[in-house]
Structure 1
Amino acid sequence: MMSFIFIFTACNGKKSSGPEPPEINDKVLENFNETGMPIVNEPITLNFMAGKFVLASDQYNETLIWRTYEEMSNIHINWELVPYDGREEKRNLTLAGGTLPDVFYTMSMPNQDLLKYGQQEVFITMNDLIEEYMPNLTALLDQYPDIRKGITFPDGNIYSLPTIYDPEFTSVLLSTKGWIRQDWLEKLEMDMPETLDDFYQYLKAVKETDLNENGKNDEIPFGATDILGMRDILKGAFGVGNRGSMHAYLDEDPDTGELRFYPLADDYKALLEYLNKLYAEGLIQENIYSIEQNQSYSMGTEGLYGSTVIISPTTIYGEEMGKKFVALPALEGPAGNTYHKATSPLAHMGGFVVTSENKHIPATLRWMDYFYSKEGAKLFFMGLEGETFEEDENGDLQYVDKITNSPDGLTMEQELSKYITWIGGGYPGIVREETFKGSESLPQSLEAAEILRPNMLEEVWPSFTYTVEENNKLSSLQADIHKYVDEMQDKFITGTEPLAKWDEYVKKVEKMGLKEYMEIQKSAYERYKDN
Structure 2
Amino acid sequence: MKELDSEHKGETLLKKTGRVLLSLIMTMSLLLSACSGKTGSDASGETSTRDGAVRLSVLAPQNEAIEKLQTNRFSKYIEEKLDIQFAWETTPGGAYNDKKQLVLASGDYPAVILDAGVSKADQIKYGKIGAFIPLNDLIEQHAPNIKKALAEVDGLKEAATSPDGNIYAIPKINECLHCTYNQRVWINTVWLDKLGLDMPTTTDEFYEVLKAFKEKDPNGNGKADEVPFTTTPDEWGGGVDAFLMNAFIYNDASKYLSVKDGKVIYSAAQPEWREGLEYLHRLYQEGLIDKGAFTQNGDAVKQLANKPDSSVGVVGYAIITGGVKYPRNKDYAVLPPLKGPNGVQLAGYSAGIRQSDFVITNKATEEEKIAAIRLADYLYSEEGTILTSYGFEGDGWKKAESSQLDYNGQQAKYDVLPPASQTNGSVTLADTWWQLGTMQMLNSIRESFVAPEDPLAEGDGPREYRFWLAAKEYEPFTNLDVVYPGSVNFKPEDALTISQIERTLTDYVDSSMAQFITGNKDISKDWDSYIGGFKGLQLEKYLKVHQDAYDEWRASQ
TM-score in terms of structure 1 length: 0.82
Call closer, same or farther: CA 1:455–1:379 in 2, change over 3 Å: same
Q: Is the 2:306–2:326 Cα contact (8 Å) retained in structure 1?
A: no
Q: In structure 2, the residue corresponding to 1:279 is in which secondary structure?
A: helix
Call closer, same or farther: CA 1:56–1:467 in 2, change over 3 Å: farther
Q: Which residue of 1 aligns with 2:383?
A: 375
Distance of 2:502 and 2:315 partners within structure 1: 30
User: What are the equivalent positions in structure 2 for 1:176-215 lying under 5 Å apart?
Assistant: 177-215=184-222
Q: In structure 2, the residue corresponding to 1:363 is in which secondary structure?
A: helix
Call closer, same or farther: CA 1:485–1:175 in 2, change over 3 Å: closer
Shift of 1:440: 9.5
Distance of 2:216 and 2:323 partners within structure 1: 25
Q: Which residue of 1 aligns with 2:432?
A: 420
Q: In structure 2, the residue corresponding to 1:260 is in which secondary structure?
A: strand
- Structure 1, unaligned stretches of length 5 or more? 1-39
Distance of 2:81 and 2:447 partners within structure 1: 23
The AA in structure 2 aligned to 1:356 is: N
Shift of 1:398: 4.6
Q: In structure 1, the residue corresponding to 2:504 is in which secondary structure?
A: helix
Deviates more, 1:335-344 or 1:497-506: 335-344
1:499 to 2:523 alignment? yes
Q: Which residue of 1 aligns with 2:313?
A: 306
Q: Is the 2:249–2:267 Cα contact (8 Å) retained in structure 1?
A: no
Call closer, same or farther: CA 1:383–1:439 in 2, change over 3 Å: closer
Distance of 1:529 and 1:78 partners within structure 2: 44
Q: In structure 1, the residue corresponding to 2:546 is in which secondary structure?
A: helix
The AA in structure 2 aligned to 1:301 is: N
Q: Which residue of 1 aligns with 2:486?
A: 462
Q: Which residue of 2 aligns with 1:290?
A: 295
Shift of 1:219: 0.8
Can you list the C-alpha shifts for 1:76-115, whole angstroms capped at 9, x where unaligned? 2111112223223322332234333111111333432221
Call closer, same or farther: CA 1:317–1:428 in 2, change over 3 Å: same
Identity %: 28
The AA in structure 2 aligned to 1:509 is: F
User: What are the equivalent positions in structure 2 for 1:321-360 lying under 5 Å apart?
Assistant: 321-334=328-341, 336=343, 338-349=345-356, 351-358=357-364, 359-360=366-367
Distance of 2:271 and 2:283 partners within structure 1: 19
Q: Is the 1:185–1:192 Cα contact (8 Å) retained in structure 2?
A: yes
Call closer, same or farther: CA 1:440–1:496 in 2, change over 3 Å: farther
Q: Which residue of 1 aligns with 2:28?
A: none
Can you list the C-alpha shifts for 1:140-171, whole angstroms capped at 9, x where unaligned? 222224221122222222110001122xx311
Q: Match for 1:483 among 479, 503, 507?
A: 507
The AA in structure 1 aligned to 2:148 is: A
1:73 to 2:82 alignment? yes
Q: In structure 1, the residue corresponding to 2:245 is in which secondary structure?
A: helix
Shift of 1:240: 2.2
Shift of 1:332: 1.0
Q: Which residue of 2 aligns with 1:452?
A: 474
Q: In structure 1, the residue corresponding to 2:138 is in which secondary structure?
A: helix
Can you list the C-alpha shifts for 1:275-301, whole angstroms capped at 9, x where unaligned? 111111111012222324322111112
TM-score in terms of structure 2 length: 0.79
1:119 to 2:122 alignment? no
Call closer, same or farther: CA 1:529–1:90 in 2, change over 3 Å: farther
- Structure 2, unaligned stretches of length 5 or more? 1-49, 405-411, 450-458
Distance of 2:471 and 2:496 partners within structure 1: 39
Call closer, same or farther: CA 1:79–1:177 in 2, change over 3 Å: same
The AA in structure 1 aligned to 2:330 is: K
Call closer, same or farther: CA 1:529–1:157 in 2, change over 3 Å: farther
Call closer, same or farther: CA 1:446–1:100 in 2, change over 3 Å: same
Q: In structure 2, the residue corresponding to 1:96 is in which secondary structure?
A: helix
Q: Is the 1:224–1:308 Cα contact (8 Å) retained in structure 2?
A: yes
1:407 to 2:415 alignment? no
Shift of 1:211: 0.9
Q: Is the 1:57–1:63 Cα contact (8 Å) retained in structure 2?
A: yes
Call closer, same or farther: CA 1:232–1:110 in 2, change over 3 Å: same
Can you list the C-alpha shifts for 1:185-240, whole angstroms capped at 9, x where unaligned? 11111111111111111111101111111111011110122495341112332122
Call closer, same or farther: CA 1:479–1:71 in 2, change over 3 Å: closer
Q: Is the 2:183–2:242 Cα contact (8 Å) retained in structure 1?
A: no
Deviates more, 1:204-213 or 1:86-95: 86-95
Distance of 2:227 and 2:461 partners within structure 1: 24
1:86 to 2:91 alignment? no
Q: Which residue of 1 aligns with 2:464?
A: 442
Q: Is the 1:275–1:493 Cα contact (8 Å) retained in structure 2?
A: yes
Q: In structure 2, the residue corresponding to 1:342 is in which secondary structure?
A: coil
Q: In structure 1, the residue corresponding to 2:223 is in which secondary structure?
A: coil
